[in-house]
């Protein structure tokens, strides 16, 4: 899983990830650098795994007629840098050098707008079910690569930067299985 050091990786794309570019990103502020990783959980439709919903959401191709929930989120423009599927597949939507739209209204250690200085990693999952062993394996390889490239100060959950608004990655996420020196 360890990405090779190449020009693609240097441009913010990891060669170990399948690339599915999202239009839902922009430039980071010039005075910001990556120092935080935010872990999320997502399933589309809610509680269902393996379908194309997440990719379609992040690429603005979600058909609002395909599922009743999709009509509720029609027009939503979100993304993350990475998605770890239930089978461990790693997909990258936004280069690490760009700002993905994943944390929304957020605050970490008194600094708002966490998207400015974070990498967003979505795990295909939900609050009610445990994550797969292979997801933790892929996540830990990815975190090691991100620590190699950036001065990561912390790995936190979406609920940590948006308390009261978000619950993910949820109570079934086992933080003890995450190799993170900052926790």
Q: How far apart are CA 115 and CA 51, in angstroms?
A: 26
Residue 183 lies inside a defined structural domain of this protein: no
pLDDT score, position 179: 84
pLDDT in tens, 59-85: 999 999 999 999 999 999 999 999 999
Q: Are 10 and 139 in contact (CB under 8 A)?
A: no
Q: Are 82 and 140 in contact (CB under 8 A)?
A: no
pLDDT in tens, 98-122: 999 999 999 999 999 999 999 999 9
- Kindly list the catalytic residues: 122
E-only strand ranges, the chain: 18-19, 25-27, 36-42, 82-84, 90-92, 98-100, 107-108, 111-112, 118-124, 154-157
Does position 11 have pLDDT exceeding 90, yes or no? no
Residue 153 lies inside a defined structural domain of this protein: yes
CATH value at residue 38: 3.40.80.10
Bridge partners (DSSP) listed for residue 121: 39, 82
Question: What is the tally of structural domains in the chain?
Answer: 1
Question: Residues 11-26: what's their mean pLDDT?
Answer: 96
pTM: 0.93
Q: How far apart are CA 6 and CA 140, in angstroms?
A: 21
């Amino acid at each position: 899983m360890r990405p090779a050091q190449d020009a693609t990786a240097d441009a913010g794309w990891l060669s170990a990830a399948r690339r599915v570019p999202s239009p839902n990103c922009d430039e980071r502020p010039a005075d910001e650098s990556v120092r935080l990783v935010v872990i999320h959980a997502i399933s589309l439709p809610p509680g269902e795994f393996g379908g194309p919903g997440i990719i379609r959401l992040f690429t603005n191709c979600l058909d609002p007629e395909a599922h009743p929930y999709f009509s509720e989120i029609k027009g939503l423009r979100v993304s993350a840098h990475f998605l770890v599927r239930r089978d461990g597949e790693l997909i990258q939507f936004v280069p690490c050098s760009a700002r993905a739209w994943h944390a929304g209204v957020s605050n970490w250690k008194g600094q708002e707008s966490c998207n400015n200085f974070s990498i967003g990693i979505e795990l295909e999952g939900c609050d009610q079910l445990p994550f797969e062993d292979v997801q933790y394996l892929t996540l830990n390889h990815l975190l090691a690569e991100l620590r190699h490239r950036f001065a990561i100060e912390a790995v936190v959950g979406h609920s940590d930067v948006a308390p009261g608004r978000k619950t993910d990655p949820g109570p079934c996420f086992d933080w003890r299985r995450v190799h993170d020196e900052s926790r």
